[in-house]
Amino acid sequence: MSTVMQAGSTLTRDALTVLQPGFGGLRPPAWLLRRLDEGLTGVGLFGRNVRDAGQVADLTAELRSVRPEVLVAMDEEGGDVTRLEVRRGSSFPGALALGAVDDTALTRAVYRELGRRLAEVGVTMDWAPCADVNSDPRNPVIGVRSFGADPALAARHTAAAVRGLHEAGVVAVVKHFPGHGDTSVDSHLALPRIDAPLDVLRERELVPFRAAVQAGAKAVMTAHLVVPALDPERPATLSHRVLTGLLRRPQAEGGLGFDGVISTDAIEMQAIADTYGMARGAVLALAAGADALCIGFHGDDELLLSLRDAIVAAVRAGELAEERLADAAARVRALARWTAEQRTGGRGAAAAAQGSASAAPAALAGPADSADSAVGLTAARRALRTTGGAGALPLTAPAYVACFTPVANSAAGEETPWGLGPELARLLPGTTSGSYGPGATGGDAAAIAGERPVVAVVRDLHRHAWMRTALAGLLAARPDTVVVEMGVPQSPPQGAAHLATHGASRVCAAAAAEALTAPR
């Protein structure tokens, strides 16, 4: 027990309320249940907490046995970033694919179905969608997670995603304010800087966030990056100018007029932890105007208590106004009540089941299990773009799939499978795959393929010189190679046929495999 204050006091409860930790394991640890009883109001789930739908439903039901209105959050964007389907790949395409289709009704339907699946297993808060305008093609962490590089397109699809999730009774957490698209640095690893002038920010980065606020967004997540035009000293997460002076400021005064919960991105990310330290970062974020502090993947009881005590100590020392902490806690509790009302008010039959395991298995079902769940595969098919291929397609014999694999996106993680091999093997039995990384020449893949048709799978070809070199070597040896780009299709089409999936989720691979084998 902390020596700062006894658990149960108003100040200590408020400090716990604004924290949202992750934890290890498939069941809530005893320490987490104790802290829920003491005032903790939010919990984050990650891939390490997921085995199957019934298990997740049981986990969230156990959390609610202690605190019925607990906010259970998950980083479930669909596409490349999935937690519910971390071990097999998402049943939904990601934002870039939806932006490529540019049908807001489809986007809304995809997020509604995604929200329904979350609600079925007791998850009430989705750290999605990404409202970032991906204006820098070198971006290592946003990319296909963005609806695109056009602010107006990103705005209308961000708004559609918010509406879809809310229709399922799940809170959409719009991220990463004020925009993480114009950077070539990953804030998981360092502190990015965006040097765009204020007029560009207002006409580009802020446009999707304005649309999200107008669509009724209840939560916005901050970005760990410095934007000198807004605040030359502190990253957005810790900036009063950005959070209170821009995001909260009324629209009539030049702000966005947002009145919901401001959540931080994970404060253990190196952009904050290595620069300010987690405890100092937590206090500064609250003082700046944040309401919920995402602790993220590495949460445990020792860390949770150290942050709680740092917040309490900051209030006692006059570094953080007690009224500011109380306001943040009140906003978090109000949001938790809204999600509880959605669950008990019948917003979706499964949501009302309070996370019962018997209702849950459909939440991790495949893309063709029902008319509603088929929306993911439908969207992936519509997002697919094929160039050339008059003589190279369809493939009719078992193929060799050469998968050129870059370092995994920090947000997606390394455990989520991607690529075309398994889906193509289902349609062309006997198809085999090989994975190639930096140092590959392409000649090895051609030699292994022999006389079989070759399919080269790349991901963000424009960002990886080694990948371009390897692909060039393969195409020199086998000009009949078909190329499938499963990232941002920034490079010119290459190969005997070129397919762009606009993402690497399982349904994107399924759509590509269909296109490769469909009769012309």
* Active-site amino acid positions: 188, 265
Q: Say which residue the tokens 């086998």 belong to.
A: 478
| Dist CA 230 CA 495 (whole Å) | 45
What count of other Cβ atoms lies within 10 Å of the Cβ of residue 493?
Answer: 15
| Dist CA 145 CA 503 (whole Å) | 8
| Dist CA 333 CA 108 (whole Å) | 27
CA distances from 434 to 150, 198, 473, 493 (A): 36, 47, 16, 22
DSSP state of 330: H
Strand-pair category, 497-500 with 385-388: antiparallel
Rounded to a whole number of angstroms, the CA Rg of the chain reads: 23
| Dist CA 114 CA 76 (whole Å) | 8
302: Cβ contacts below 8 Å, ≥ 6 apart: none
Residue spans of alpha helices (H) in 295-374: 301-316, 322-344
Using CB atoms within 10 Å of the CB of residue 30, give its burial: 0 to 12 exposed, 13 to 18 middle, 19+ buried: exposed
* Strands of 351-399, DSSP E: 385-388
Q: Token pair for residue 311?
A: 């917040």
Chain centroid to Cα 218, Å, comes to 17
Produce one character per residue of 48-64: b if its CB has 16 or more CB atoms within 10 Å, e if not. Answer: bbbebbbbbbbbbbbbb
Find out whether 120 and 350 touch, Cβ atoms under 8 Å: yes
| Dist CA 408 CA 141 (whole Å) | 9
168: Cβ contacts below 8 Å, ≥ 6 apart: 111, 112, 113, 114, 115, 116, 118, 119, 347, 348, 351
| Cα atoms in the 13 Å half-sphere on the side-chain side of 204 | 18
Find out whether 122 and 95 touch, Cβ atoms under 8 Å: no
| Dist CA 360 CA 343 (whole Å) | 14
Cα maximum dimension of the chain? 74
User: For residue 219, what is the enclosing H or E element?
Assistant: strand 219-222
